[in-house]
Amino acid sequence: MEGLRLFSELVLMPLVAFVVGMAMVLMMRRIAARLQRRIGPPLLQPLYDIAKLYAKTTQVSHGLIHDIGIVMAVGGYVAAEILLPVPGMNGIADKADLITLMYVMMVPSLGLALGVGQCANPNGSIGIARALTAMLGYDIPFVIVVFGVAWHFGSTDLIDIIGRQQAAGPGGWGIVQMPLLAIAGLWAMHASLGKQPFEIYVAPAEIATGPMVEMGGKFLGGLFVMQCFQFYTQAVLYVALFLGGGSHWIDLLVKAFAVVAIPMTIAFLFPRYRTEDMLRILWKWPVMLGLLGLAFVM
Amino acid sequence: MKRLEQIPVKGEGRGNPLARVFDELTNFCRSRSLFILHYCTGCGAIELPPAMTSRFDMERLGIQPMVTPRQADILLITGYVSIKTLKRVILTYEQMGAPKYVIGICSCTVNGGMYWQSYATAKRLDEYMPVDLYIAGCMPRPEAVIEGMRHLMRRIENGEARGWEDYYRRYDHYLGNQQALFGDDWQTPTDVIAEARHYGLLGEQTLGPHTELLQQVQRPLEALEMRLGHGPEHES
């Protein structure tokens, strides 16, 4: 019985994450449209895009590593979903902790690097070099933030962190207890979502969408799926660390969508930083805020 | 009374009873999600920004711009195609993933337009690649572009926009026209005949005198030489 429950959770958690992630992608595109005084895409547009890409007749593969790279990119996030506790489902979150989750969340970028490497397109290589440089930029504030939160709650167990915040009520939420770390975390999250002004590795007008340049059909579809997972993972992790998790699903979804909406609203007002400018700003302000927040926590 | 060509000779032998439902669903998704690659060769390009931005907003129809041929569904040729440009257009077209659609915007793609007397301009785009839709005008307004897009969406939904199959089935014809323009040693990096064979689209006119000529002159692709620093022309 226990095994069946675990199995159903392992199937359901990524599935729910995918559906919610598609809604988040839709929200992002709608926000962009409204900011530009457009109407924006219809309700099921992310689904149409993914279905269409998987239904393409021609699927141009550049080799085995190209295929495996995409599987790693999606699989890394699928693994992250089952480590993220949501209301009613803990998956295997009690067997792993925040550190494991952080490692797993880096797998997609590395998978993408592998896959793009075999495409042998110079734009793709530049794109992936920039993506890994960007990872170097946002992971340092992110690690500081995670360390601060873990120190504050005296645990790296996400179930434990959420439980303590919910027991203490809104006054005990991470965002009230550690506001500086919360700001640094939001900043790092914005950068890791890869939207403007931190869009250096996509840069459509400059390096032709970088890592995605040789991706067509199901490969691009896989990356679209990955983007859905990415939005969901980042948002739910932020909610778990700073906004007391979700006591029930509506609570969690409202918080998660609000968390994604903030960086997206900022994003579409800005153009793009250069790589060195992005690293400079990420290593200066979020790191400084994070270290200051860490000092208060300790 | 039905015309003879419209009566199917034999049904598609697909065992799955849900195949038809699946096909219709696929066609619907294809028609609602179109990624365009705009090859802006001429003046028609100026009508695309208003069609995409706040005034007419093509994204509400599921149409959005993409930047590489691999990602795109529609190749949008906006204006006259010079012979030099046409080579790039064909390279781009062959790299796109099927099902792919070509839209010719402006009179110049239909019949050469005001460049009719130019020796350097390809007059009719559909002699060199199958064109699914022409939007005539000099230049067509954004309303016309969007109306054309909606027409294409209807055709895709009904499964009628199959111009890309024609390129494989009648490759000899298209290649002949290309050779007439670019010379006998014309070749592209994409092996169209092998693709036609792979997708089961080898028609009676896929192979012919022109493909024979191609196979005689075809040289295997070589990797570009990798080197750091400046090329030989900069050495001094």
> Which residues does chain B have within 8 Å of residue A122's beta carbon, measured at their own beta carbons?
none
Place of tokens 């906006």: B78
List A216's β-bridge partners, or say none. Answer: none
Q: Do residue B59 and residue A59 have CB atoms under 8 angstroms apart?
A: no
Query: Is the pLDDT score of A255 beyond 70?
Result: yes
Query: Is the pLDDT score of A93 beyond 50?
Result: yes
Tens of pLDDT, residue by residue over B19-46, are 788 888 888 999 999 999 888 877 888 8
How many angstroms away from the CA of A50 is the closest CA of chain B?
A: 9
Nearest CA in chain B to A221: B71
Q: Report the pLDDT averaged over residues B78-92.
A: 89
- Asked if ipTM goes beyond 0.90, one says no
User: How many domains is chain A partitioned into structurally?
Assistant: 1
What tokens appear for A10 in the block? 């392992």
Give residue B214's pLDDT. Answer: 84
Place of tokens 């506001």: A179
Per-residue confidence band for B130, with pLDDT thresholds at 50, 70 and 90? very high
What tokens appear for A28 in the block? 């992002």
Considering only residues A47 and B222, tell me which one the structure prediction assigns the higher pLDDT.
A47
- Report d(CA A41, CA A35) in Å as an integer: 13
- Residues of B near A (Cβ–Cβ under 8 Å) read 25-26, 29-30, 32-33, 53-54, 57, 59-60, 62, 66-68, 70-71, 73, 96-99, 195, 199
Are A242 and A31 in contact by the 8 Å Cβ rule? The answer is: no
What tokens appear for B208 in the block? 């012919």
Give residue B5's pLDDT. Answer: 56
Per-residue confidence band for B228, with pLDDT thresholds at 50, 70 and 90? low
User: DSSP H helical segments within chain B, as ranges?
Assistant: 19-32, 48-52, 83-95, 107-111, 142-157, 163-169, 171-182, 192-198, 209-217
| SS3 (DSSP) at A84 | coil
Q: What is the DSSP string of B129-140?
A: S--SEEE-SSSP
Q: What is the DSSP string of A246-257?
A: -SSHHHHHHHHH
- Top CATH class, B27-161: alpha beta
Q: Do residue A37 and residue B54 have CB atoms under 8 angstroms apart?
A: yes
Please give the backbone phi and psi of residue B202, each rounded to the nearest 5 degrees, phi first: -75, 110
Place of tokens 């065992």: B15
* CA distances for B165 relative to A96, A294, B130, angstroms: 52, 62, 9
Give residue B231's pLDDT. Answer: 56
Per-residue confidence band for B14, with pLDDT thresholds at 50, 70 and 90? low
Considering only residues A222 and A61, tell me which one the structure prediction assigns the higher pLDDT.
A222
Of A29, A40, A204, the CB nearest to B67: A204
Q: Report the pLDDT averaged over residues A76-100.
A: 86
Place of tokens 């572009």: B145
Considering only residues A65 and B18, tell me which one the structure prediction assigns the higher pLDDT.
A65
Give residue A96's pLDDT. Answer: 82
Amino acid identity of B214? Answer: L
What tokens appear for B199 in the block? 């997708």
Per-residue confidence band for B236, with pLDDT thresholds at 50, 70 and 90? very low
Pick the most confident of A84-98, A112-126, A273-287. A273-287
Question: Which one, of A225, A216, A215, lies nearest residue A55 by Cα?
Answer: A216
Q: Report the pLDDT averaged over residues B102-128.
A: 87
Amino acid identity of B201? Answer: L
Query: Is the pLDDT score of A120 beyond 80?
Result: no
Residues contacting residue A96 through CB under 8 Å, at least 6 positions apart: A83
Provide the residue range defining the domain that includes A48.
2-297
- Report d(CA A142, CA A294) in Å as an integer: 12
% of chain A with per-residue pLDDT over 90: 36
Q: Report the pLDDT averaged over residues B144-167.
A: 89
Residues contacting residue B27 through CB under 8 Å, at least 6 positions apart: B156, B157, B158, B159
Query: Is the pLDDT score of B8 beyond 60?
Result: no
pTM value is 0.87
Sheet with B34-39: list strands edge to edge.
B63-65, B34-39, B74-78, B101-105, B133-135
Per-residue confidence band for B235, with pLDDT thresholds at 50, 70 and 90? very low
Give residue A90's pLDDT. Answer: 80
Mean pLDDT of chain B: 83
* Mean pLDDT lowest among B38-47, B74-83, B158-167: B38-47
Report domain extents, chain B.
Answer: 27-161, 162-219
Nearest CA in chain A to B224: A120
* CA distances for B106 relative to A214, B47, B150, angstroms: 30, 10, 17
